[in-house]
């Protein structure tokens, strides 16, 4: 039977958190009463900032004790604990500096000693020895730290963090969907009533071989028999955002969004001449690309829409709102095929399916 430990430690950049990291963390959880996760990268690697790494670990491993650090987080934590600040080691610093920092974090920030370190690296033995020396000196008695090495040859989970960062879409099999979702680009479509937005959303999703987030506001309006109250508008925006976040985990490279919370805010202002602060915040939500559909073909009345004058007023309101929020956008016009071509030209090389 494999030896069990009271406290185990896993250290990594987790940039991004991939299935190799998960296998290591899972192994530590299976063999320890308590698992500590420590993550930092100095400098940060693109797309893997501390807040994002924190969110991945929280989503996948809420049961572990974790510290996800950058310089600002470390300074705030030291101030909170009333301990002197210690700088984060750079990624290229020598082993001794890295190990001394980990030992300090355990002793000073976590205020504990570990019994085992879990790695998939050849340096693991030296790492464990350095921690053992530090803890033994601190305790005034021998404090052994075991090194548990998992899959050093990377045969079980043949993944490279560098390869994942280079092209997370080609390597998505090595990422949990909740991690992959953060690498999916969001395409936000805006436009007044009868401006072809939904038709474009469906066509784009088909062309990009991905999925699209339909407009919850329309569904909710129909469910309420066309009668929306003030509180419905914030609810609509919140559900729309949750829908996007859920579908991003299923998407491929891009998620096409058939509206954004900015639309809901404009409707709320038009209907009630006011909006909740939370809705204003959601309306600031950023997208990789925003496209504004022109009202440049005959207005189609489906029984739920107002008229062409309102559509034109909506278009002007979108332009003003986007400018006021400094949100870059691309106007698309013409036939569906022309609009598709205009969107794909903006996506450029990133429109592929790799």
Q: What is the CATH number of the domain that holds 66?
A: 3.40.50.620
> Based on the domain organization, do 223 and 344 belong to the same domain?
yes
pLDDT at 104: 97
Name the domain boundary from 110, 137, 169. 169
Name the domain boundary from 112, 141, 169. 169
> Based on the domain organization, do 17 and 152 belong to the same domain?
yes
Which residue range is the domain that position 25 belongs to?
5-169
Domain presence at residue 25: yes
Check residues 154 and 22 and name the one with the higher pLDDT.
22
> Based on the domain organization, do 195 and 251 belong to the same domain?
yes
Question: Rounded distance, CA 271 to CA 216, Å?
Answer: 18
> Based on the domain organization, do 317 and 346 belong to the same domain?
yes
> Based on the domain organization, do 62 and 105 belong to the same domain?
yes
pLDDT at 347: 95
Check residues 353 and 233 and name the one with the higher pLDDT.
233
> Based on the domain organization, do 43 and 97 belong to the same domain?
yes
Question: Rounded distance, CA 239 to CA 243, Å?
Answer: 6
Domain presence at residue 175: no
> Based on the domain organization, do 318 and 246 belong to the same domain?
yes
Structure tokens at 120: 């998939």
Structure tokens at 339: 């609009």
Q: Given pLDDT bands bounded at 50, 70 and 90, which one contains residue 154?
A: confident
Write the burial class of residue 326 (CB in 10 Å: 0-12 exposed, 13-18 middle, 19+ buried): exposed
Question: Rounded distance, CA 314 to CA 295, Å?
Answer: 9
> Based on the domain organization, do 135 and 202 belong to the same domain?
no
Domain presence at residue 176: no
pLDDT at 189: 98
Is residue 29 predicted with pLDDT exceeding 60?
Answer: yes
Is residue 202 predicted with pLDDT exceeding 90?
Answer: yes
> Based on the domain organization, do 198 and 318 belong to the same domain?
yes
Name the domain boundary from 109, 137, 169. 169
- Residue 224 half-sphere exposure, CB side, CA atoms within 13 Å? 16
Domain presence at residue 178: no
Reported for 321-329, long-range contacts at CB under 8 A and 24+ positions apart, including other chains, are: 321/262, 321/265, 321/266, 321/283, 322/190, 322/262, 322/290, 322/292, 325/262, 325/283, 325/284, 327/262, 327/286, 327/290, 328/290, 329/190, 329/290, 329/291, 329/292
Q: Tell me if 287 sits within 8 A of 186, measured CB to CB.
A: yes
Mean pLDDT, residues 85-91 taken together: 94
Is residue 213 predicted with pLDDT exceeding 90?
Answer: yes
Domain presence at residue 132: yes
> Based on the domain organization, do 245 and 326 belong to the same domain?
yes
Domain presence at residue 174: no
Dump pLDDT digits (tens) for 294-339: 988 754 555 555 656 777 888 899 999 999 999 999 999 999 999 9
pLDDT at 312: 83
Instruction: Give the global pTM.
Output: 0.88
Q: Given pLDDT bands bounded at 50, 70 and 90, which one contains residue 354?
A: very low
Write the burial class of residue 347 (CB in 10 Å: 0-12 exposed, 13-18 middle, 19+ buried): middle
Share the mean pLDDT of the chain.
Answer: 93
Mean pLDDT, residues 97-118 taken together: 97
| Number of folded domains that form the chain | 2
Q: Residue 192 belongs to a domain with what CATH number?
A: 3.40.50.300
Question: Rounded distance, CA 91 to CA 98, Å?
Answer: 9
Structure tokens at 293: 């559909």
Is residue 246 predicted with pLDDT exceeding 90?
Answer: yes
Check residues 8 and 224 and name the one with the higher pLDDT.
8
Domain presence at residue 177: no
Question: Rounded distance, CA 176 to CA 281, Å?
Answer: 29
> Based on the domain organization, do 139 and 78 belong to the same domain?
yes
pLDDT at 56: 97
> Based on the domain organization, do 143 and 190 belong to the same domain?
no
Question: Rounded distance, CA 281 to CA 177, Å?
Answer: 26
pLDDT at 190: 96
């Amino acid at each position: 039977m494999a030896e069990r430990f009271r406290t185990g430690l896993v250290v990594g950049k987790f940039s991004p958190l991939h299935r190799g990291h998960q296998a290591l963390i899972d192994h530590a959880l299976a063999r320890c009463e308590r698992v500590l996760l420590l993550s930092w990268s100095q400098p940060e690697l693109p797309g893997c900032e501390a807040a994002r790494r924190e969110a991945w670990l929280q989503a996948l491993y809420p049961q572990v004790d974790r510290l996800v650090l950058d310089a600002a987080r470390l300074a705030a934590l030291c101030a909170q604990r009333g301990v002197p600040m210690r700088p984060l080691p750079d990624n290229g610093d020598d082993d001794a500096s890295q190990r001394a920092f980990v030992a300090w974090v355990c002793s000073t920030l976590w205020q504990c000693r570990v019994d085992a370190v879990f790695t998939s690296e050849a340096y693991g033995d030296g790492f464990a020895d350095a921690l053992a020396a530090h803890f033994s000196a601190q305790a005034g008695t021998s404090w052994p730290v075991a090194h548990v090495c998992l899959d050093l040859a990377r045969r079980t989970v043949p993944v490279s963090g560098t390869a994942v960062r280079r092209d997370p879409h080609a390597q998505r099999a090595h990422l949990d969907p909740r991690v992959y979702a953060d690498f999916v680009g969001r395409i936000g479509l805006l436009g007044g009533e009868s401006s072809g937005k939904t038709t474009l959303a469906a066509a784009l999703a088909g062309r990009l071989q991905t999925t699209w987030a339909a407009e919850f506001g329309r569904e909710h309006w129909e469910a309420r028999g066309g009668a929306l109250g003030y509180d419905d508008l914030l609810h609509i925006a919140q559900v729309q955002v949750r829908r996007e976040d859920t579908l991003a985990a299923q998407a491929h490279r891009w998620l096409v969004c058939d509206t954004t919370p900015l639309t809901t805010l404009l409707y709320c202002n038009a209907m009630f001449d006011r909006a909740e602060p939370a809705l204003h915040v959601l309306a600031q939500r950023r997208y990789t690309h925003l496209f504004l559909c022109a009202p440049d073909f005959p207005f189609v009345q489906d029984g739920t829409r107002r008229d062409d004058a309102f559509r034109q007023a909506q278009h002007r309101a979108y332009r003003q709102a986007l400018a006021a929020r400094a949100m870059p956008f691309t106007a698309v016009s013409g036939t569906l095929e022309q609009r598709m071509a205009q969107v794909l030209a903006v996506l450029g090389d990133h429109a592929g399916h790799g």
